[in-house]
Structure 1
Amino acid sequence: MDQTIYLITLVATVLILAAAFSSLIAFRYGAPLLLLFLGIGLMAGQDGFGLVFDNAPLAYFVGSLALAVILFDSGFSTPVSMFRQAASPALTLATFGVIITTLIFGTATYYLTDFNWLESFLLGACVSSTDAAAVFFLLRAGNLTLRDRVRSTLEVESGTNDPIAIFLTLTLVHIISIGNIPETSAVLTDIVVGFLRSMGVGIIAGFIGGHLIVRLINELKLDTGLLPIFALALSLLLFAATGTIGGSGFLAVYIAGLVAGNTSLRGSKSLERFQAGMSWLAQIIMFLVLGLYATPSQFVAILPVALVLGVFLIFIARPIAVSLSLVPFRFSRTENAFLSFVGLRGSVSILLALTPVINGLENGPDIFNIAFIVVLVSLIVQGWSIGPLARRLSLLVPPRSGPLEKVELELPGSAHHELLTYTVVPGSPVTRGERIPRWARPSLVVRDGKSMKLNEYGRLIAGDRVYIFVHDRYPRLLDRLFASPAEVDPEDEDFFGTFTIDPNKPAAILEQIYGIELRPEHRDLTIAALMRRKLEGFVEYGDRLPLQSIELIVRDVDENGEITALGLSVDPPAPPPSVPVYVSLNEALDRLRIWINAKRQSRG
């Protein structure tokens, strides 16, 4: 018995370490990390090194707990400003987008397989949600700085669409399991009522649970080392309790994380670090378990149809769902194309595909195997092409600053304040003489191992360690002073234009100097106000506004979103090429309108 314990521990730790080391490969070569985790599980499994793991209920249980941990961390690390910025389009994608994907993919499944309609839609529900971890690891590994609006929409969508897919999957599994399918109207009524109850209870429980977590952590005088464990246990308690009363536990923990992460919380920095580590561990364990459970030898029979369905999901189902969902929102053609393509499927799809197996559905194993292959196709096709597509669509912006060496510490009794420790890096603004604001004067500077007072250190030099006690609203402003110079790709050197221009100057000077024509009501506006009006009120770093022979580019914005620096190009680059597969509904209607007008003119 003792030897068995040691053997199981040895195998488990070796697999986890192998998965952790594989992240180095992923960062170096930009490979989808989830694909590597699954690959390690497959190699260690029955058709690889011979480890037999066929306990579907246990795999689902482990995966569900891991997903709850991941979703709590996802909410905890999402700034409320990002959520507000992207809430409407992201939540539309997370609800209507998931439902549309399920219907379109399910219809294709029905005509390509021997599944009945309900089983086809069940497979569609399993693969209808995107995987946030896979998407954002690739963005980090590829050093891709996406436009804020696109990145925020992707992140919020990925964090909120899992509960909808889970609800649809469990509902369809239940209907198929009972065998006695009621009338269509009764089915739709039950689904709608069940959906509203599950989501409603999940939302309410999430808000209440999030505030309770914050209050308990702030009121109870627990040891600092216990706080992260206490918060994790409370989030899992909320997950279980919400599910017990019929709500969506996954939605509840995401909202609780969002509430806790955007509230003044004792020990928030240590909580962030602990949550990040637990989220990584949860992902590794979940992916390894799902990879171990799969049996590649069973893929052969269904491989052709699964490959076709994987390609159909990437190039047809997801783009249609995104285009229809984003009709009310003014995303550009290139943004729509990128959002359509970056819909990587991952662990949640495989986890949901276990439910037909657990419930003993006749075609459960085939549903699981097809879903597994669809995920592999998504990771291989989309995973390696996110960077090139983002560059092709001109959705990348040069980073504002380079790497930063910084440590954040919370001090007892210092509400809303924290101690920041910066290591001065070569080339940073402070080494070039940039002044540190008066409200952030260093409390201590350590140079060559010696402590120096405020009036002793003179100009900061590379290698200095600077300690600053500051209000928690200001760290982002200081980061720019201590960051290294950004390494701008040669292709991006002209990104912000050849000239600078004062955003507070009247727009009429553009007419006088560059000969462009403005509407009378636009001449009295400032250039910044003109850009805001043209861009419909929302302006962000990297925004571009073509105006006939010139182009204005936002070089920087302040904390309130006001333009503080503008660039101007007198030779604007050609617009990014279109991606024929991904044409938004608005673009398709515009093309149809142009074609109809051309036909009318030719007849006239």
Structure 2
Amino acid sequence: MATIDTNGFIFLAGILLLVSILASSLTVRVGLPLLLVFLGMGMLAGEEGVGGLAFDNPNLAFFVGNLALAVILLDGGMRTKTSTFRVALWPSFSLATLGVVLTTTAVGSFAAWLLDVKLIYGLLLGAIVGSTDAAAVFNLLRNSGVNLNERVGGTLEIESGANDPMAILLVVMLTGLLQSSNHLGVLAFLGQMLQQFAIGGVAGLLGGKLLLLVLRKVPLVEGLYALLIISFGLAVFSGVNIIGGSGFLAVYLVGLTVGNGRIKQLESISQVMDGLAWLAQAGMFLLLGLLVTPSSLLIHGFEAVAIAAFLIFIARPVAVMICLLPFDFRWPERLYISWVGLRGAVPIVLALYPVIAGLTNSELLFEITFTVVLISLLLQGSTVAWMARWLKVVVPPAPAPTTSFSLIDDVSSHHSLELYEFLVQAESVRIPAAIVQNIPSETVSTPQLVALVRNQQPIVVNAETALKSGDRIWMLLHPEDVNDVALIFSQQSSGSFLLQNFFGEFAIRGDASLLDLAKVYGVSIEGIGEDDTAAELLQKQYGKSLVVGDRASFGNLRLTIREMKGNQIEVIGLKLQNK
């Protein structure tokens, strides 16, 4: 790096982050991924950009990249709900293992032919770009403005958090083969893969349980809890790597365990973790942007574009279709999962393995990888929301509180109690009389109203008070009652056109008789049994992997799952279709 004093370096780093943050608002408006801004700013600050910084330290970039990815995976795990495992665990595992191998083989064979290099070099490139990137997937899915159905969103997130071990194992193995004449047999490879997943999985789950215990028992200043989680996660990440496991899988599982464990400080922790994960992404992409020399990307630009196109339009879709064959996914869902195979920081960091090892053609592999990532973020990343709407894999977001505070230290207790804030999104809704009366009880069996705030002013509430859109309601609730109360104040209670169009004008119970529905709406009763229900009709079409938003036609009716409780369908939306 060019010689600059400490203050100058801090000044440049601050300016880079500042400009990147300000530019992010523009990228959101035009639909471009925020991660592209950081890569672009790093390239502009590099030796061929306006900054003129000559950064050529792959070891430092590799260290920062691994550190940042650990933080991002930890935060991503905390935001993944274990409820999605019901429908997404095994499909994700299939994509994270077999999918990576299939993608590696296909891209590797094509790259070896196109670049006229040995097959093992092509396979190494295939392994480098073979896994989706957790940072890119988490960032783009959550900032896309669309709410994917649980089967699709859960599969993409779990896959991106779990496929790094396979990709890293392949890259390390192929790099080792190129460095020596030793050969690694199939059984040895499978043994190493099993070791990576087993050690990483066990250590991550046990580490998460231990961290939960510490968070519940050790009193700390509010701001230190997130730092405790970060430090513990990094220790697990590096420790598991040292003993031969997958640190990436382990740190993801630590975050998953903590995020789904009931701890009093979870709301404030999540806010701090958001900032730290964002900073990790920004720093990592800025540094990786600095590392590349833009003019070198043009040398093999045609080949890189061809490899990116093959990966996006052939290798990834074929791998997804094969891996998802045993599972109950609709074709639009399969197509969307194949499209959102986003490449990001992970491939670039993996491309540093052969550079650090000093392999022949390592610079070629790095430059092509960088170009593939740029194309993936630009093409796939900018169309995440558009493709979701076009393929109809989105569902209206479930009502939820805007803020929550736990009021009992032992949040694992059955009698836990929390203070929630709800934003009223419907007009002329009245608070149920039982809530307005605020009748106290030892168990707080009914929700209790704490305050109603309108235009930043508290107002007195009685049975005649009509709520307005924008009001904020503060209530004491048991966590299990939150969804029901949130529904009262959401747009769904107002019967908005958008929700009526998606779910239908009417709602029925999952155990509603199909025979009764047929008689009421003039549907043929041929082949319908007396005990057949609406839920069973949906189950026959989708199997056990049912999620909110799944649909089935019944004569001139469209039945859409509106609410579920575990594996059971609770409420179904009913809409009359044009004949």
TM-score of the alignment, normalized to the shorter chain, above 0.5: yes
1:348/1:324 Cα in 2 relative to 1: closer, same or farther (>3 Å)?
A: same
In terms of mean alpha carbon deviation, does 528-537 or 287-296 score higher? 528-537
Q: Quick check: 2:208–2:258 contact (8 Å CA) kept in 1?
A: yes
- 1:282 is matched by which residue type in structure 2? A
Alignment partner, residue 546 of structure 1: 553
Q: CA deviation at 1:315?
A: 0.7
- 1:514 is matched by which residue type in structure 2? G
Alignment partner, residue 358 of structure 2: 360
Q: Quick one: distance in 2 between partners of 1:373 and 1:288?
A: 16
Q: Secondary structure at the match of 2:574?
A: strand
Alignment partner, residue 519 of structure 1: 527
Q: Quick one: distance in 2 between partners of 1:174 and 1:225?
A: 43
Q: CA deviation at 1:283?
A: 0.6
- 1:168 is matched by which residue type in structure 2? L
Q: CA deviation at 1:449?
A: 6.9
- 2:212 is matched by which residue type in structure 1? V
1:205-244 equivalences under 5 Å are 205-244=203-242
- 2:133 is matched by which residue type in structure 1? D
Gapped regions of structure 2 (runs ≥ 5): 436-444
- Deviation digits for residues 69-128 of structure 1, max 9, x if unmatched? 111111111111112321010111011101110111101011011321221111111101
- Deviation digits for residues 141-195 of structure 1, max 9, x if unmatched? 44222222111111111111122211211221122122x143xxx4323322222
Alignment partner, residue 268 of structure 1: 266
1:434-473 equivalences under 5 Å are 439-445=446-452, 458-461=465-468, 465-473=472-480
Q: Quick one: distance in 2 between partners of 1:523 and 1:412?
A: 49
Do structure 1's residue 344 and structure 2's residue 351 form an aligned pair? no
- Deviation digits for residues 375-434 of structure 1, max 9, x if unmatched? 111122212333332233222234455xx77322233635354543426545257x3455
Alignment partner, residue 581 of structure 1: none
Q: Quick one: distance in 2 between partners of 1:201 and 1:97?
A: 21
From 112, 123, 126, give the equivalent of 2:125: 123
Do structure 1's residue 477 and structure 2's residue 499 form an aligned pair? no
Q: Quick check: 2:208–2:255 contact (8 Å CA) kept in 1?
A: yes
Q: CA deviation at 1:319?
A: 0.8
Q: Secondary structure at the match of 2:502?
A: coil
- 2:484 is matched by which residue type in structure 1? L
* TM-score (norm. length: structure 1): 0.86
Q: Secondary structure at the match of 1:71?
A: helix
Do structure 1's residue 384 and structure 2's residue 382 form an aligned pair? yes
From 289, 292, 299, give the equivalent of 1:291: 289
Q: Quick check: 2:147–2:394 contact (8 Å CA) kept in 1?
A: yes
Q: CA deviation at 1:257?
A: 1.2
Q: Quick one: distance in 1 between partners of 2:534 and 2:232?
A: 50
Q: Quick one: distance in 2 between partners of 1:436 and 1:462?
A: 22
Do structure 1's residue 415 and structure 2's residue 423 form an aligned pair? no
- Deviation digits for residues 293-346 of structure 1, max 9, x if unmatched? 011111122111110000000011001111111111121211111111111111
- Deviation digits for residues 181-230 of structure 1, max 9, x if unmatched? 43xxx432332222222222111211221112112222223333222111
1:464/1:302 Cα in 2 relative to 1: closer, same or farther (>3 Å)?
A: closer
Alignment partner, residue 74 of structure 2: 72
Alignment partner, residue 91 of structure 2: 89
Q: Quick check: 1:422–1:482 contact (8 Å CA) kept in 2?
A: no
1:486/1:564 Cα in 2 relative to 1: closer, same or farther (>3 Å)?
A: closer
Q: Quick one: distance in 2 between partners of 1:411 and 1:548?
A: 51
Q: Quick one: distance in 1 between partners of 2:349 and 2:366?
A: 9
In terms of mean alpha carbon deviation, does 300-309 or 169-178 score higher? 169-178
Q: CA deviation at 1:498?
A: 5.6
1:2/1:29 Cα in 2 relative to 1: closer, same or farther (>3 Å)?
A: closer
Alignment partner, residue 12 of structure 1: 13
- Deviation digits for residues 25-58 of structure 1, max 9, x if unmatched? 2321211122222111111111112111110000
Q: Quick check: 1:552–1:568 contact (8 Å CA) kept in 2?
A: yes
Alignment partner, residue 592 of structure 1: none
Q: Quick check: 2:454–2:471 contact (8 Å CA) kept in 1?
A: yes
Q: How many residues align?
A: 564
Alignment partner, residue 248 of structure 2: 250
* TM-score (norm. length: structure 2): 0.89
Q: Quick check: 1:210–1:255 contact (8 Å CA) kept in 2?
A: yes
1:394/1:450 Cα in 2 relative to 1: closer, same or farther (>3 Å)?
A: closer
Alignment partner, residue 61 of structure 2: 59
Alignment partner, residue 45 of structure 2: 44
- 1:349 is matched by which residue type in structure 2? P
Alignment partner, residue 185 of structure 2: 187
- 2:204 is matched by which residue type in structure 1? G
